[in-house]
Chains A and B, each alone.
Chain A
């Protein structure tokens, strides 16, 4: 079977995960070596995932941890659970 572009897109997420079977992976890599569109789709998708994994993209609200632990402390010091 010869892979077309749609087959490659369908498996691109699993390919990034590293979970496609070796045979399919080889076929995908042959396709990617010759298809500029699919190679760019793979590169751009991987690049975007790399960017969104960075801690600078989503930051916690200022004071979040302090407020959280203060609230937890109230609960910890309060009466044992059950009487909510």
Chain B
């Protein structure tokens, strides 16, 4: 998958897929409830990670994903066909997850760490002079996967949500905005900050010399690459 190509598309969703989904919704509402399995199957992964982006915990994310799906089934009649079903479902999952997080914070008497929108206007990325591409094959290494997961987990909630929806799940800007209930401008602003923070956290770790030494990724004697 080429990131640049992915980032450039952003056109309208395939009409046929949307029509097939709308037809499924009508049949379920008319009584063929078993078709709900088929309707949600393409969204299983997305709903889980939407919940995970808020909660950062596998067990809670799974529970919330289940609750969101059940809620969608119970409230399917209120789904408006002009929205994409996946976006509607994602919004339900995000809201369920936020509800659970608020509840837990109240129980723990802890404060909400959401950053304000105008925070770190002068954010400076990691200034390296040379970047050596980290190839996808490197993801076979658990250390690298964990490093990426930890970087995402360390982001403030507002930034983590947009990054996961846009850059992990590949929703477009409009879908991300709809799922989070914010404007596209807010999504773009948070996305810039989330991406630059990821770069700041990860670039020093991934830059070939330091990353190689840290994780023993150099072949003995070559000192060159991730493999």
Q: Which residues of A contact B (CB under 8 A)?
A: 6, 9-10, 12-14, 16-18, 36-37, 39-41, 43-54, 56-58, 60-61, 64-65, 67-69, 71-73, 75-76, 81, 84
Contacts and interface: CB of A to CB of B under 8 A. Distances in A.
Contacts of A58: 49, 52, 149, 168
B1 A67 contact: no
A76 B167 contact: no
Interface of B: 1, 3-4, 6-8, 10, 33-34, 36-37, 40, 44-45, 48-49, 52, 58-59, 62, 65-66, 69-70, 73-75, 122-131, 133-134, 136, 138-140, 144-145, 148-149, 152, 163, 167-168, 170, 173, 188, 191-192, 195-196, 198-199, 202-203, 206-207
A36 to B, nearest CB: 5
Contact of B188 (A13, A41, A43, A48): A13
Contacts of A73: 37
Contacts of A40: 127-131, 203
A12 B126 contact: no
A72 B58 CA distance: 19
A69 B37 contact: yes
A51 B134 contact: yes
B37 A61 contact: no
A63 to B, nearest CB: 9
B91 to A, nearest CB: 18
A13 B194 CA distance: 9
B168 A57 contact: yes
8 contacts: A9-B124, A13-B196, A45-B195, A58-B52, A68-B65, A69-B37, A76-B37, A81-B75
